[in-house]
Structures are given as C-alpha cells and as structure tokens.
Amino acid sequence: MSTIQEEKPSFFSKCLNVIERLGNKLPHPFILFIYLAVFLMFISFVVSLFDVSVIHPTTDEEIVAKSLLSKEGVLFMLSSMLENFTGFAPFGLVIVMMFGIGLAQKVGFFETFMKTTIIRAPKSVITYAIIFTGVLGNIASDAAMIIIPPLAGMVYYAIGRHPIVGMAAAFAGVGVGFTANFIIAGTDALLSGITTEAAQGIIPDFVVTPVDNWFFMSASVVMLVVVGAFITDKIIEPRLGTFDPTYADPGVISEKVQEPTSKELKGLRNALIAGGLYVVLLASLIIPANGFLRSDEGTIIPSPFLDNIIPIILIFFIIVAVAYGKTAGTVKKSADVPILIGEAMKDMSGYIVLIFAAAQFISYFNWTNLSTISAISSSELLQDVNFTGMGLVVAFIFLVTIINLVISSGSAQWALMAPVFVPLFMLLDYNPAFTQLAYRIGDSVTNNISPVNPYVIMVLGFMKRYDSRFGFGSIISLMLPYTLIILAIWIVMFLAWNLIGIPIGPGNGVYLDQ
C-alpha cells in the first residue's frame, strides 16, 4: 500500500488539483448553456455589424451572420423556444428508450443480471467477468456505478484477492467503457440526436441514427475486457500486493456477498427466455428476403428495421422487464408497469432540464449561421495548412479527453462541441457518425480520473472502507494505467479500422460518400 501513498504531491497530482478547482468553478451545465446563449447573443451582434459571410462549398449559397439581438433574432428566440425543446432530436429518442431501460432497472433485472454474472463466474475469469459486466452495465447508467464496484470488492475479498483491485477493475469497466456496448443504449440515442442537430446545419436532411457506431463499439467491448483484465492482473494487482485488513473498516470485512434469491434467478431465466423469443421473432421478420422489416428492395441496410430500432429496443426491454418482474414478484399487477416507468422518468428529470437549455443554445447557434461560418472558415484554414487527415482526428480525440476532465456530463460536453466540430469535419468530408465515434473514445477514457466526476469520489469512498489511508491521489494513480493504455490501444484500433475500411455501423463508413 505504501507504493501508492504520496508524501508530497507529485506534479501530476498538482495538475489534477488545478483541474479540480477549475472544474468546480464551472457552473451547472444548465446554467453554463444559459451563459453561452447570452454570450452568443453578444457575439452574433458584433459579427453581424461587420457583414461577415462565407460561400457554402456545396450549394454556393452565401451564408451571412445574423444577430440574435435584432428584431428578427428576438422574435426567433421567443417563437422557437418550445419547438427547440420538443423538436430536439435526442429528447424523444432518449425518453422513449428509457421507458424500457428504466422499467428493467426498477424491477431489478439489471441488478440481478450484474450480480449473477460476477458471482457465478469461475475464479480464473473473474476479472474478465467484472469488466465485462461493468461495460455492459452502462446501459443501466448510474446503477452500474453504484452496484458493480462494491460488489466486485466483496467478491475479490471472498476469493482471497485484494478487494480494491476488484473495485478498480469494475470502475474501469463502467467508466472507461461507458460508451461501449453490444446493445444499443440510451447513450447511442442521446449522442446521435445531438450529432444530427449539428449535421443538419450543413446538410438539412442528414440523420445520424443510434446504430451508426454499433459495429465499432461492439468490437470495443471485446478490446476493453481483454486489455482491462490484462492491466488489472499484470499492473494493478502486483502494485497493491497482498491485502492488509489492518486499515479496513471492520464492518466491510464481515460483509458477505448477497447472492440473488431463487425467485430472482428464476426471473432472470424467464426474462432471458422471453427476450430470446422476441429476438427469434425479429429474425423471422428480417432474415427472409421478403421479411416485413426489410426494405422494399429487400435490403437490411437501409430498412424499416434500422429506421425503427428505438421502438424495437423499447419493446425488447419491456418484454424482458415484465417477464422478470412477474416472476420475481416486483410486478404484481399490470398497473405496476406504468408506475415503475414513472419512477424511472423521475431519474431523468435532470436530463430533461439540461436538454431544454442545450436545445436553445444549439438552435440559436445554427440560426445565427455562426456554426456554418466557423466550420467553413476553419476547414479552409486546415486545408490551407494541410492538416486534414487522421492526425487531425486524433488531435480531436485528445482535445475531448482534456475537456472531459473539467466537464463531467458527456451529453453536455457533446452538446457544446458538436455544433462546432461536426460541421467542421463534414466540410472535410468526414461522416458525422465518424466524428461522433472519435468523441466517444475521448469522452470515455478519462472518466475515471476526472476530478469533477462525482463517481470518482463515490468509488473512493468504497475503497477507503478497505483501506482508510486511500486518498484522491491514490485512486487517480490506480486508474491512470487504464486511461493511458486503453486510450493508446483504442486510437490504434480506431486508425486500423479506418485503414482497413470496415464500416463503423450499418451502412456507415468514415467518409460522407460511404
């Protein structure tokens, strides 16, 4: 343990302290968007005074800067406020998606699934099981952060391994792997909606769907599990050594892992059977050449299946949740279903409030034409200096990792960055879905070392129960190998994917013409 206790703050620790102070001085994301909207009003007024304009490279149309403080601008802000909110692409997608995911969480399906996967895994693959469960657990959002790290600590302690090592593996899976999954999740819907809003400033009818990063993010799950387990077993565990209970809370030492009850296990079994039958039904409508969910031309890409992926996933989770709840006893009557969905929606209240402010800012930014003007001007500058290839995309990933250290909300960060970078990369011929994918890599890897991430402090609290000497510098130094190594491998994987030319999602490549 002495290897991670610092007598004097290192240079890196001092940098993190500065980042923490800066992050803590930032206002709540809702207030931040309000400030940015006010700032945008002033900037648009100043820029319009100079009659700034550019020529759109694809339509040859003159794009002129407009002022939000003009009569036209003020009327736009007033008349568009409700439409900006209700018509914001991520809003409906995420709310509908959370009907199903939230219900599955409230009935206890996700908790039982996570517990069963970890507890019943053979000792030889326990690290892989913990990280795998952490990565897939992000579909349950905050619940994964709360359930998996302490559970992993107890499991590790029960099999005679250092409990903090188990928590580090779990936190790496949930945090660093936050945007990766085999299943289309709320994150996919949220990010694709914001990307669509930003992309339509260049191509009005352009749509980024929740499945547009599916292939790459599914492959990323495998990479994260293998690399994360290697880091845990070869770097983290040797560094921490043998667990010394001297500094542990006596209460945590006596805690036992609570295995799922027989009813919960039966519920999980029935849920998986019901979900499997639903998947078989879907397959029968997709695989045949004349399947209902194929296009009129008989294709799957595009097809009604992909166009309607959100309601299809919604139905899947409702079926799974009801099957589990009826068996486990968490759903006793039909009226319980809407009540539980309502409780899940209460957890979304913070997101709804944030979306209202973000939607206004993005709409104002697009209306002033400053988004398009800045994108066109920046793309011309980058082309002039010949900085337009994969080096630029990698630089963008690094920029995202830095910003993520001071803005803990991934949706808020993308709502800030997408209106600038999505149009910019589109003018350089990059698919918005590809830009979004680059963002997701940068946004994930620094989650576990961000001083403003509240879950860093929460997991630190779990770890301190096993070692009271553990401090903020301890958890950061513990998680840093995951960040650095996975970032490097993820970027290499990202570049190799592009070099080989594998689609990043159904029908989506790196460039706009793919």
Q: What are the tens digits of pLDDT across the range 424-434?
A: 999 999 999 99
Q: Spell out the SS3 assignment of 462-475.
A: HHHHHCCCCCHHHH
HSE value, Cβ hemisphere, 13 Å, CA-based, for 376: 21
| pLDDT above 90 (res 88) | no
> Which of 11-15, 173-177, 248-252 has the highest average model confidence (pLDDT)?
173-177
- Interval 94-148: pLDDT, tens: 888 889 989 998 999 988 998 899 988 898 899 999 999 999 988 876 778 888 9
Mean per-residue pLDDT, 371-377: 87
| pLDDT above 90 (res 503) | yes
Q: How would residue 408 be classed by pLDDT, with cut points 50, 70 and 90? A: low
Mean per-residue pLDDT, 139-163: 87
> What totals of helices (H) and strands (E) does the chain contain, helices first?
23, 2
> Which of 87-91, 252-256, 445-449 has the highest average model confidence (pLDDT)?
445-449
| pLDDT above 90 (res 300) | no
What average pLDDT does the chain have? 88
Phi (first) and psi of residue 62, to 5 degrees = -80, 125
- The secondary structure of 221-280 as a DSSP string is HHHHHHHHHHHIIIIIHHHH-S--GGGS-HHHHT----PPPHHHHHHHHHHHHHHHHHHH
DSSP, collapsed to helix, strand or coil, labels residue 441 as helix
Per-residue pLDDT at 267: 96
Q: Give 290's DSSP letter.
A: T
Decide: 376 and 57 in contact? Cβ < 8 Å. yes
CA-based nearest residue to 144, from 205, 191, 185: 185
Q: How would residue 6 be classed by pLDDT, with cut points 50, 70 and 90? A: very low
HSE value, Cβ hemisphere, 13 Å, CA-based, for 490: 33
- Interval 225-276: pLDDT, tens: 999 999 999 999 998 888 988 888 887 777 777 888 999 999 999 999 999 9
CA-based nearest residue to 64, from 56, 72, 53: 53
Side chain identity, residue 489? I
Per-residue pLDDT at 438: 96
Per-residue pLDDT at 349: 83
Side chain identity, residue 207? V
Q: How would residue 5 be classed by pLDDT, with cut points 50, 70 and 90? A: very low
Mean per-residue pLDDT, 57-75: 89
The DSSP bridge partners found for residue 55 are 62
| pLDDT above 60 (res 393) | yes
Per-residue pLDDT at 2: 41
DSSP, collapsed to helix, strand or coil, labels residue 430 as strand
Decide: 137 and 131 in contact? Cβ < 8 Å. no
**pLDDT top residue among 452 and 6:** 452
